[in-house]
């Protein structure tokens, strides 16, 4: 067996120090859903670090909410693993185009679709458009989410509650339902859950409730989808530095975001995306109905 030389050894770094830590006192509140260009510091999506090895070569993936944050990091990693990527976004066109450029630079195909997923017909159309543009769909990542914070129950309007549920629960259901008949045996659905589904914050009440619902949906859908040879899993992040944070939280909460983890910092999007790569790949062939936590040591999930 050959051994690596000292020069080829991977450099290990203290995980507490490799990315930005609070206070994020230069970050001001931004308009929802938020632009990557307005983030201080800019989130790390693996643009200059992630190296693929062909784990998803030739496959076609649809990733919702992939204009920025976790979704962009997943798109970058999938593309560098050889997958073509359909990029869905709500309103931030410049961010979506930047994600598409990152995908195209990997020598694979991108397709960009602007769509409001609070409509069932829009979700069905998105699946059909992705198939028409890429030729097929092998992987569905239900990543798009919406949240707003309030300080009291009375401050959460029914309209806001409805919007959060339609984005975070109904849309993954509608998209998965539309995709089941198009995904091949061996294909997969991956949902982005949250630590909020296990350890809810009061000021994120509707969002937390949707993530609890998504956990149940993941496990239930896995039992139905496997009848088609399709696996369904979820990733449950803790605090992650994305535009959703300064877009939905007040400045004083944003300044200390992630300080309550054992690392003393939030995750960067690239720290989660490799989990999605593995779950989408044939290497995870015996994995379904599972939830993988990436919470910064805050809680087991």
- Active-site positions? 207
CA neighbor of 19 nearest in space, from 236, 296, 297, 300? 296
∠ Cα 216 220 225 (to 5°): 140
Between 93-104 and 69-80, two packed helices, what is the crossing angle to 10 degrees?
20
Contact 100, 112 (CB under 8 A): yes
Q: The sheet that has 84-89: what strands, in order across it? A: 110-114, 84-89, 60-63, 139-142, 188-192, 231-237, 291-294
52, two tokens: 């693929």
Q: How many CB atoms lie within 10 A of CB 16?
A: 12
Helical segments of 46-167, H only: 69-80, 93-104, 120-134, 158-165
The kind and range of the H/E element at 61 are strand 60-63
The kind and range of the H/E element at 86 are strand 84-89
109, two tokens: 């195909």
């Amino acid at each position: 067996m050959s051994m690596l030389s000292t020069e080829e050894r991977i450099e290990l770094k203290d995980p507490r120090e490799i990315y930005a830590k609070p206070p994020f006192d230069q970050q001001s509140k931004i308009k929802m859903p938020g632009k990557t260009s307005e983030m201080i510091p800019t989130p790390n999506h693996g643009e200059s670090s992630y190296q693929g090895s062909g784990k998803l070569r030739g496959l076609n993936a649809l990733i919702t909410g992939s204009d920025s944050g976790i979704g962009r990091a997943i798109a970058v990693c999938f593309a560098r693993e050889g997958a073509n990527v359909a990029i869905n976004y709500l309103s931030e066109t410049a961010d979506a185009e930047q994600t598409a450029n990152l995908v195209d630079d990997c020598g694979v195909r991108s397709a960009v679709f602007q769509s409001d997923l609070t409509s069932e017909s829009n979700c069905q159309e998105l699946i059909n458009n992705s198939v028409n543009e890429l030729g097929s769909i092998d992987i569905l990542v239900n990543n798009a989410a919406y949240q707003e914070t309030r300080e009291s129950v009375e401050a959460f309007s029914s309209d806001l509650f409805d919007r959060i549920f339609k984005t975070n629960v109904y849309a993954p259901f509608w998209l998965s339902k539309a995709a089941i008949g198009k995904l091949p045996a061996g294909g997969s659905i991956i949902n982005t859950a949250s630590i909020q589904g296990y350890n809810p914050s009061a000021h994120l009440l509707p969002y937390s409730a949707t993530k609890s619902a998504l956990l149940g949906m993941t496990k239930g859908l896995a039992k139905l989808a496997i009848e088609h040879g399709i696996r369904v899993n979820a990733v449950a992040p803790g605090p992650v530095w994305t535009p959703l944070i300064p877009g939905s939280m007040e400045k004083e909460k944003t300044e200390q975001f992630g300080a309550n983890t054992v690392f003393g910092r939030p995750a960067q999007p690239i720290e989660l995306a490799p989990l999605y790569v593995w779950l989408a790949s044939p290497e995870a062939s015996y994995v379904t109905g599972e939830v993988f936590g990436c919470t910064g040591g805050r809680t087991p999930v």
